[in-house]
C-alpha cells in the first residue's frame, strides 16, 4: 500500500507499522455532506425495496422467502472470499448430511454456518437485544464454529496486524489499522449505529459497512460478518420486517468496483461514490429478490394444484411448503413438518414423486428427494 495513494481528503491517517503503513480511519462523522446523486440513488433503492417488502409480506409462511434467499446469500458471500460451492450441494448436505469428499463438505459447511449466524442475529434482535459489539462477536463465533476458520480467535478481535490483498503491508492492496486501535474504533462504530443521524437507514448502513470493513476487526471472516450486518442493521432500524435483503450476489458480480469504492473512501474521502454504489446494490438485489419470490410462489401454486387434483394426501399438501423452501427433503423431515406418522410421511413423498414434484437421489441414506424443477427455475 503506497502512501502516495492517499490524498489530503482521506478520512483518516497513515501510521507506520513494521514493513510499511496502515490506514487508521477517523471515527465516523455524524454529519456527512452527500451529493444529490446519492439521494437520487436512494429514491430508486427505497422504491425497489418497498416493492420487494410488499411482495414478501403477502407470503403466509416466512421461510418460503427467508430460506431460499438466505441460502443464495450465504453461497455468494462465501464466494467473494474464495469459497466456491454449488447451491444444490449445500441444500443436499443440510437435508441428508455431508458428502464423502471432506473438502466439499467443509466448503458446504462454511455456507451453512453463515446461515446459522444470520439466524442467530435475527433471534438476538427479535428477543430485544441490541445491534452491538456483543452481537458482532457472537456472530463471528458462530460463523467460525467449525471448519477451517475455527482456530482464528473466534469471537475475539484480532491481536495481529493484517494486510488485505498481499502478504506484506508494502505489497497489500489495503492495510487496516493496528490491532490496538480496533477496540476504540469498534466502540465508536457501535455508538454510530445508535446515534441520532439525519440520514435514511440505507445510507447509514452504507457508511457503517465501509467503516467495519476498514477496521477489519477480526483475523478471519470480516467480509462475511460485514455483509451479515447489512440485513441485521436494517432489521434493527425497522427498515425491513425480516432480514431478507442480501447484497452479496451483487457485490460478488461487481467485486472489483466493490473493493475500489471502499478504498476510494479511504484514499479520497469519496463518500458519495460509495453510497451510490451501495444503493445501486440495494435496488438491484431488491428487484432480483422480488422476481425470485414470484417464481417461488408460482411453483408452489403449481405443486399444490397437482396435489389437490391427483391425491387426497394432506401430508403431501403440507409438505409442499417444505419442498419449496429447501428443495431437498427426507421422510423424517416431512414427518416433523407435517406432524404425521412415519408411514404417512413416506406415502406423502411417494405421492409427490409420482406427481413429478420430487425425484429420489439413488443410494442416499437416509433416503433423500429433491425438486429438480425448483433447482432449475429458482436457483439456476
Q: Which of 237, 260, 291 is at the close of a domain?
A: 291
Give the model's confidence band at 312: pLDDT under 50 very low, under 70 low, under 90 confident, else very high: confident
Mean pLDDT for the chain overall = 93
CB neighbourhood size of 128 (10 A): 6
Shared domain check, 343 and 267 = no
164 with 34, same domain: the answer is yes
Domain identity same for 66 and 154: yes
| 208 falls within a domain | yes
Residue 335 belongs to a domain: yes
Quick one: pLDDT at residue 58? 80
Look at residue 302 and tell me if it is in a domain: no
Q: Which of 260, 291, 322 corresponds to the end of one domain?
A: 291
Q: Are residues 284 and 327 in the same domain?
A: no
Q: Is residue 151 predicted with pLDDT exceeding 70? A: no
Do 69 and 185 share a domain, yes or no?
A: yes
Do 248 and 337 share a domain, yes or no? no
Are 189 and 60 in a shared domain? yes
pLDDT, position 81: 87
Give me the CATH number covering residue 251. 1.10.3290.10
pLDDT at residue 372 in the model: 94
**Tens digit of pLDDT for each residue in 104-118?**
999 999 999 999 999
12 lies in some domain? yes
Q: Same domain for 262 and 328? A: no
Is the model's pLDDT at 265 over the cut of 90? yes
Checking if the pLDDT of 235 tops 90, the result is yes
Number of domains in the chain: 2
Residue 299 resides in a domain: no
Q: Please give the pLDDT value at position 67.
A: 86
- Residue 191 has a pLDDT of 96
- pLDDT attached to residue 114: 94
Q: CA distances (Å), 66 to each of 27, 97, 246, 298, in order?
A: 34, 21, 10, 16
Residue 149 confidence (pLDDT): 62
Query: Which of 44-48, 84-88, 262-266, 340-344 has the weakest average pLDDT?
Result: 84-88
CB of 19 closer than 8 Å to CB of 37: no
Same domain, 90 and 231: yes
Residues 156 and 265 in one domain: yes
Q: Is 306 contained in some domain?
A: no
pLDDT-derived band at 342, boundaries 50, 70, 90: very high
- Flag whether 304 is in a domain: no
Element (H, E) at 68: helix 63-80
Residue ranges making up the domain that contains 354:
311-377
Compute CA distances 221 → 27, 144, 275, 355, whole Å: 22, 8, 23, 43
62, part of any domain: yes
The Cα 58–Cα 60 span in angstroms is: 6
Same domain? For 61 and 179 the reply is: yes
Phi, psi of 160 (to 5 degrees): -140, 160
How far is the C-alpha of 6 from the C-alpha of 166, rounded, in Å? 18
pLDDT confidence tier of residue 148, bands split at 50, 70 and 90: low
User: pLDDT, tens digit, for every residue of 14-60?
Assistant: 999 999 999 999 999 888 888 888 989 999 999 999 999 998 888 87
**CATH number assigned to the domain comprising residue 354:** 1.10.10.10
**Residue 204 reports pLDDT greater than 90:** yes
What 3-state class would DSSP assign to 316?
Answer: helix
Edge-to-edge order in the sheet of strand 368-370: 328-330, 368-370, 359-360
Does 251 lie in the same domain as 118? yes
Quote the CA–CA distance of 341 and 335 in Å, as a whole number: 6
Specify the higher pLDDT residue, 286 or 99: 286
The four Cα atoms 264, 266, 271, 277 give a dihedral, to 10 degrees, of 40
Cell of 158: 484480532
Amino acid at each position: 500500500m503506497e502512501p502516495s495513494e492517499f490524498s489530503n481528503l482521506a478520512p483518516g491517517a497513515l501510521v507506520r507499522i513494521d514493513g510499511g503503513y496502515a490506514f487508521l480511519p477517523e471515527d465516523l462523522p455524524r454529519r456527512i455532506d452527500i451529493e444529490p446523486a446519492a439521494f437520487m440513488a436512494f429514491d430508486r433503492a427505497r422504491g425497489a425495496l418497498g416493492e420487494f417488502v410488499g411482495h414478501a409480506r403477502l407470503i403466509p409462511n416466512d421461510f418460503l422467502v427467508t430460506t431460499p434467499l438466505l441460502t443464495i446469500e450465504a453461497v455468494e458471500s462465501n464466494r467473494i472470499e474464495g469459497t466456491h460451492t454449488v447451491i444444490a450441494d449445500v441444500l443436499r448436505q443440510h437435508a441428508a448430511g455431508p458428502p464423502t469428499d471432506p473438502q466439499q463438505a467443509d466448503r458446504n459447511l462454511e455456507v451453512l454456518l453463515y446461515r446459522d449466524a444470520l439466524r442467530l442475529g435475527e433471534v438476538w434482535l427479535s428477543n430485544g437485544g441490541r445491534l452491538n459489539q456483543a452481537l458482532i462477536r457472537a456472530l463471528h463465533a458462530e460463523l467460525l464454529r467449525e471448519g477451517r476458520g475455527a482456530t482464528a480467535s473466534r469471537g475475539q478481535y484480532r491481536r495481529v496486524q493484517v494486510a488485505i490483498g498481499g502478504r506484506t503491508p508494502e505489497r497489500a492492496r489495503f492495510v487496516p489499522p493496528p490491532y490496538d486501535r480496533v477496540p476504540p474504533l469498534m466502540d465508536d462504530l457501535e455508538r454510530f449505529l445508535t446515534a441520532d443521524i439525519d440520514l435514511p437507514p440505507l445510507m447509514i448502513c452504507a457508511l457503517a459497512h465501509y467503516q467495519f470493513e476498514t477496521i477489519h476487526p477480526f483475523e478471519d471472516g470480516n467480509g462475511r460478518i460485514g455483509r451479515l450486518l447489512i440485513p441485521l442493521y436494517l432489521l434493527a432500524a425497522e427498515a425491513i420486517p425480516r432480514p431478507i435483503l442480501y447484497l452479496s450476489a451483487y457485490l460478488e458480480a461487481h467485486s472489483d468496483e466493490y473493493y475500489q469504492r471502499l478504498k476510494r473512501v479511504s484514499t479520497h474521502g469519496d463518500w458519495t461514490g460509495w453510497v451510490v454504489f451501495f444503493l445501486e446494490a440495494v435496488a438491484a438485489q431488491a428487484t432480483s429478490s422480488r422476481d425470485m419470490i414470484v417464481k417461488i410462489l408460482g411453483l408452489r401454486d403449481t405443486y399444490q394444484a397437482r396435489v389437490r387434483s391427483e391425491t387426497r394426501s394432506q401430508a403431501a399438501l403440507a409438505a409442499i411448503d417444505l419442498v419449496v423452501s429447501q428443495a431437498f427433503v427426507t421422510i423424517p423431515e416431512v414427518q416433523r413438518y407435517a406432524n404425521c406418522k412415519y408411514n404417512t410421511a413416506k406415502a406423502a413423498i411417494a405421492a409427490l414423486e409420482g406427481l413429478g414434484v420430487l425425484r429420489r437421489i439413488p443410494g442416499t441414506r437416509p433416503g433423500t428427494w429433491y425438486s429438480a424443477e425448483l433447482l432449475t427455475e429458482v436457483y439456476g
